[in-house]
Chain A
Amino acid sequence: MSVSIDSQQCKGCMLCVEECPKSALTPGETRGSRGYLMPRANNGKCVSCGLCALLCPDLAISIIKEGAGT
């Protein structure tokens, strides 16, 4: 189970960090292609609840469920 953040869409608002109930997302140090610092996913903690993806204003987040594609 994991969360995938599209580095071409993310604008680095970090609202997903706020929304995640499992603290699986933290502000990261890598910049996306738009130049914004992106959140970093700790997929060991992610339970694929999808809350971050629903909130993301740039539709940059996809949830990958094991063996099920996106």
Chain B
Amino acid sequence: MNPLAEKYFRKSALPTIFCPGCGDGTVLHAMLRVIEKTGLENYAFVSGIGCSGWIPVYINTDVIHALHGRAIPVATGLALSMPDKKIVVFTGDGDCCGIGGNHLIHAARRNIDMTVVMINNYIYGMTGGQVSPSPPAGSKTKTSPYGNPERPFDAAALVQAAGAAFVARETAVAPLRLEKSLSAAIRHQGFSFMEVITQCPTQAGRNIFGDGKPQTIYHALKKAAVSQKDVPLESGQFRVGILHADLASPPYRPPLASARPI
């Protein structure tokens, strides 16, 4: 076992629920590297429901595995009651932009001090490959067998428009870049948002990418990710890196007791 897993894993919960080759484990690994540099005692984790909701469960510390779509409201309560902790939320694209989309934009608008890591595997992984709000237009899934006629949400642009002061996007197939941006998102004071595009070979692979091999999505994501800021994007490509950082934006502070009207 990798030494970081040896040190931080909740071993009674192993093996992880993740299918072979699932990017969720690589995101967990990147989180452990950030923890190793910053101290586990400074964190509290919250997650939603979905495969991605299991990411923090394997870290041997305080974790709330909340309801589907409701990780951010739970994290908001935690952030306000435990301002000395760094709150990190792990949520799926369905959890975050589908059922929980309203919570996402309001946490960004209020600038609540938390880091939201949205695992975008383009699909509802856990429940069997139904369409989520984020696959590329035309994607075939179990519930869009003729190709999805809808446009995808660009969650990073959405939260930035709602006021998020720190927004980044990375993939699970470039683990060093992922660690660097995750670390910057976590250091940010106030609401920070990280979209991590991951490979879900079992559902997105078989339905959207044409086969269930993790290698197929690994190569597709490596090819589609563009890190240079000034290169125009071609069809199917997406930008990775820190997309927006406004370090002067003041984080939400609850009103002081003395300021109460009654």
Partner of A55, one of B15, B26, B28: B26
B5 within 8 A of A: yes
B29 within 8 A of A: yes
Q: Interface segment, B17-25, B108-116, B229-237?
A: B17-25
Closest residue of chain A to B32, judged by CB?
Answer: A59
CA distance A36 to B21 in the complex (A): 12
A7, chain B: closest CB distance, angstroms: 10
B21 touches A11 (CB 8 A): yes
Partner of B15, one of A9, A54, A56, A62: A9
B26 touches A12 (CB 8 A): no
How many residue pairs bridge A and B at CB < 8 Å? 73
- The secondary-structure label for the interface of chain B is helix
**Which positions in A face B, CB cutoff 8 Å?**
6, 8-9, 11-15, 18, 34, 36, 53-62, 70
**B26 surroundings in chain A (CB, below 8 A):** 54-57
For chain B, residues 140 to 176, give those with C-beta under 8 angstroms from any C-beta of chain A.
Answer: 172-173, 175-176
B56 within 8 A of A: no
B214 touches A13 (CB 8 A): yes
**B218 surroundings in chain A (CB, below 8 A):** 15, 18
